Amino acid sequence: MSYTTVDLTPRIGTEVKTDLETLTNGAIARDLRVLLEKRGVLLFRGLKITDEDQIKFASTLGTIRLEHGLQITKITPDEAKSPIFADYTKGTYYFHIDGTYTDMPGLASILHARSVAPAGGQTEFGNTYAMYEDMSAEEQEFLDGLAVIHSAEKIQRLANPNPTPEQIAAWGERVNPPERHPMVWHHRSGRKSLILAHTIKSIVGMNQGESDELLAKLMSWAEKPEYIYSHNWQVGDLLIWDNTGTMHRVVPFDLSCGRELDRVTLLGEEPITGPFRYHTVST
């Protein structure tokens, strides 16, 4: 068997139907890379995946990024299973792009559902290419000229309005220094996408009120249903998202329900580039 595809929405998300051997032997890896950039999210359902399969599949698409020395990390609010990520769960309830504190975010992440929430817990993805491409030429030109500052603390404060000093220290600028990026990513392919996320704390050259107003307006545009795919997890689902052309968030769920996803992340392959060169803001 090779593969067939079924689009999950018109603008984002495609289910790929294939068998485990085809998925992991690299035979369709080139096609999947093209499809991933085009569709943002690819779903593989009904395959019995092991950790080794997930790693093998990931390796056919790119270079696996070790996270704290591991190829696979547990994404769960259970601190015993995931001491590294558990505390960040509520921050993921807000749209973001992974790694906007660096100049080269991961290319993609591959999630495998081990245990799902009985209610909530969907992962929602927004197509940041489509959001930009649908704007008028005037709007595109205006956004193209903007630089923004991303901060880990900004998104975490949304989730934790009264943080402890320890939390502030953990999120803070010493760990993830604010990063300056263009608002619009000029990809090597020639396509452009928004780098829109609740990690943006300010727009360079605007006062806080103007900046907050524009960001709220952009987020309300970005959250229009046609740009969003909301994934209802089933145990065993394997899903990959293009982290360079989508934003994502998790629908709130009962943190004690045992929701558990295994994640493999692929190293970024191109730095965020705009019409100007980004640089790290010194603090």
Question: Is 98 a residue that touches Fe ion (CB under 5 A)?
Answer: yes
Q: 129-167 as b/e, with b when 16 or more CB fall inside 10 Å?
A: bbbbeebeeeeeeebbebbbbbbbbbbbbebbeebeeee
The pattern of x and - marking residues 179 through 208 that bind Fe ion according to CB under 5 A reads ------------------------------
Residue ranges of alpha helices (H) inside 49-148 are 51-61, 128-133, 137-144
Nearer Cβ to Fe ion, position 58 or 214? Answer: 58
Nearer Cβ to Fe ion, position 24 or 101? Answer: 101
Least Å from the CB of residue 199 to Fe ion: 10
Least Å from the CB of residue 96 to Fe ion: 6
Closest residue to Fe ion, based on beta-carbon distance: 98
Which span sits near Fe ion by CB under 5 A: 95-103, 157-165, 174-182, 264-272?
A: 95-103
What does the angle CA 76 – CA 79 – CA 82 come to, to the nearest 5 degrees?
55
Nearer Cβ to Fe ion, position 98 or 262? Answer: 98
**Half-sphere exposure (CA, 13 Å, Cβ side) for 68?**
8
Nearer Cβ to Fe ion, position 99 or 274? Answer: 99
Question: Is 242 a residue that touches Fe ion (CB under 5 A)?
Answer: no
Which span sits near Fe ion by CB under 5 A: 93-101, 143-151, 161-169, 223-231?
A: 93-101
**β-strand 246-250 against 123-127: which pairing, if any?**
antiparallel
Q: What is the DSSP letter of 70?
A: B
Strands of the sheet with 147-150, listed across from one edge? 179-182, 147-150, 200-203
Nearer Cβ to Fe ion, position 54 or 123? Answer: 123
Least Å from the CB of residue 275 to Fe ion: 27
Contact positions toward Fe ion, by CB under 5 A?
Answer: 98
